[in-house]
Chain A
Amino acid sequence: MDISTTIAAILTLAIYSFLYRDNPVYKTAEHILLGVSVGYFVVITISNTIIPKLIIPLFVDGELIYIIPALLGIAMLLRVTKQFSHISRIPLALIIGVGAGIAIPAYMQAHLIAQMKATMLPLSNISNIVIIIAVLSVLVYFFFSRKHEGAFGVTAKAGIYFLMIFFGSTFGYTVMARISLLIGRIQFLLGDWLGIIR
């Protein structure tokens, strides 16, 4: 039970005090967390990205081309000001443009072409047939230019039930994840800190 573990354990209990009700102890712990995590984030971003990817190439290696991203980066920081925040739209446009440009082929390949191919299954067993029907009926459910009636409506209805099965399994897995997190914290409190369980 060293001092570091005890501090971590006290902070853990401070967060759990929220279970009784929202209270100043919880609020204090929460704000410590906010401050520390923002500080952490700033340090990692500077030391792991801005220094090796901008400062060193520009100031140590003297590669002058890096003046352009440096200026754009500074323009981005102007977002904090009221007067010049519009200048930050230029670097923002670059990031958004790049993101859009790379997203199109990526979605086309990984989410459309590959997923379509994987659905082109021989209709030789129940599972394959269910997969094809489910994919198509979900697509029909998200079809907006036609009213859901007749055979089309029945298909859409099937789609919503398949969606419910998906949401159900997601529900189950999400519950599982939340409980795992609690197990981890209890293992910490009873094991690492108090040494009751091993």
Chain B
Amino acid sequence: MAEANGKRFHTRHLIFLLMAIAVVLPLIFKPGLPLRVTKEVQDIYDYIEGLPEESVVIISFDHEASSLPEMVPMAEALLRHCFRKNLKVCGMALLAEGTSVGDANLRRIGAEYNKEYGEDYIFWGFRPQHEVAILALGEDITREFKTDYTGRPISGFPIMQGLRNYQNVAAVISVGDGDIPIYWVNYAQARYGVNIIPAITAVMATTMYPFLQSEQIVGLAAGLKGAAEYEKLLNRTGLATRGMDAQSTAHVLIIVLIAIGNIIMFRQRGGKRS
């Protein structure tokens, strides 16, 4: 895109360089700006904290590999909380790429807390066509997922004892980078009344607020910032918290760039008019 215009080449690349600096420097020097926990994230934390031990939580990895830097810290924080509270965690994915990510995350965090596969957590695997899969789980989980991710019969695992459908599930955490968390609201919350916890990319944050106000979702954890807040609540510094300083400087850079760009525009316009 730069080859056709020599002058563009410079400005554009200078801005790219500024962006890289704005992100790299805070990551190296770590000023450690104070972090505020929002009510939306606190609500999720309180809800999970209030669940009785052994409650079943479904965590659905409804994202693609493209948003991993946002989704992984989020899933890690929520999983740590669930395992710390001794909840039973059932993993699944409604997008194919979330499948491998989900399996790896569950095993890694499960091992951190010495949890047994099949006893304390399980990974059911992937199902296509979100709305249909969500509805099917509302009727009979063992019919929807006859086998786990690697093909072993699901009914053989102790965690599945007494787990039939959403009636036995305390909450569904949807770690999503698109509109699948909305599908969970539309099809699982509305129809079956199950509690939905959206852990989503920042891109989708504003679209979830109407459901927050109408209490169709428990709370809202959005983006790397949401993950950082959760890490703070768990008293554990992770990738998200360490990224927050860079997030701040990069935002300031963007705002400054918009301001300069507009000032230049108004100057030029003013010049033309006079």
Which chain A residues have a beta carbon within 8 Å of chain B's beta carbons?
A: 19-22, 37, 40-41, 44-45, 47-49, 51-53, 56-57, 95, 98-99, 102-103, 105-107, 109-111, 114-115, 117-118, 131, 166, 169-170, 173-177, 179-187, 190, 196-197
- Residue from B27, B69, B203, B225 whose CB has the most chain A CB atoms within 10 Å: B69
A161 CB to nearest chain B CB (Å): 16
The answer to whether B206 and A190 touch across the interface, beta carbons within 8 angstroms, is no
Contacts of A102 in B (CB 8 A): 131-132, 135, 187
In the assembly, what is the distance between CA of A184 and CA of B97, in Å?
A: 18
Q: Does B33 contact A (CB under 8 A)?
A: no
Q: Does B19 contact A (CB under 8 A)?
A: yes
Contacts of B225 in A (CB 8 A): 176, 180
The answer to whether B131 and A44 touch across the interface, beta carbons within 8 angstroms, is no
**Which residues of B in the span 148-180 have a Cβ within 8 Å of any Cβ on A?**
149, 151
Contacts of B187 in A (CB 8 A): 102, 106
A-B contact pairs, 11 of them (CB 8 A): A19-B16, A20-B13, A21-B1, A49-B126, A106-B190, A170-B207, A175-B254, A180-B70, A180-B243, A183-B69, A184-B69
**Which residues of B in the span 1-37 have a Cβ within 8 Å of any Cβ on A?**
1-3, 13, 16, 19-20, 23-24, 27-28
- Residue from B1, B97, B243 whose CB has the most chain A CB atoms within 10 Å: B243
Q: What's the dominant secondary structure at chain B's contact region?
A: helix
A44/B96 contact (C-beta < 8 A), A102-B187, A183-B23, A185-B69 known:
yes
The answer to whether B203 and A173 touch across the interface, beta carbons within 8 angstroms, is yes
Query: Which of these, B66, B128, B146, B185, contacts A45 with CB under 8 Å?
Result: B128
Contacts of B189 in A (CB 8 A): 110
In the assembly, what is the distance between CA of A48 and CA of B97, in Å?
A: 12
Measured CB to CB, the nearest residue on chain B to A119 is: B214
In the assembly, what is the distance between CA of A177 and CA of B250, in Å?
A: 11
Q: What's the dominant secondary structure at chain A's contact region?
A: helix
Contacts of B56 in A (CB 8 A): none
A93 CB to nearest chain B CB (Å): 15
The answer to whether A181 and B214 touch across the interface, beta carbons within 8 angstroms, is no
Contacts of A170 in B (CB 8 A): 203, 206-207
The answer to whether B126 and A187 touch across the interface, beta carbons within 8 angstroms, is no
A184/B243 contact (C-beta < 8 A), A99-B131, A115-B214 known:
yes
The 5 A-B residue pairs with the shortest CB-CB distance, nearest first, are A184-B69, A118-B214, A180-B224, A177-B202, A109-B190
Contacts of B19 in A (CB 8 A): 182
B100 CB to nearest chain A CB (Å): 8
In the assembly, what is the distance between CA of A111 and CA of B187, in Å?
A: 11
The answer to whether B146 and A56 touch across the interface, beta carbons within 8 angstroms, is yes
A118/B247 contact (C-beta < 8 A), A48-B99, A187-B27, A190-B28 known:
no
A21/B3 contact (C-beta < 8 A), A183-B224, A184-B68 known:
yes
Contacts of B127 in A (CB 8 A): 48-49
Q: Does B201 contact A (CB under 8 A)?
A: yes
In the assembly, what is the distance between CA of A196 and CA of B225, in Å?
A: 23
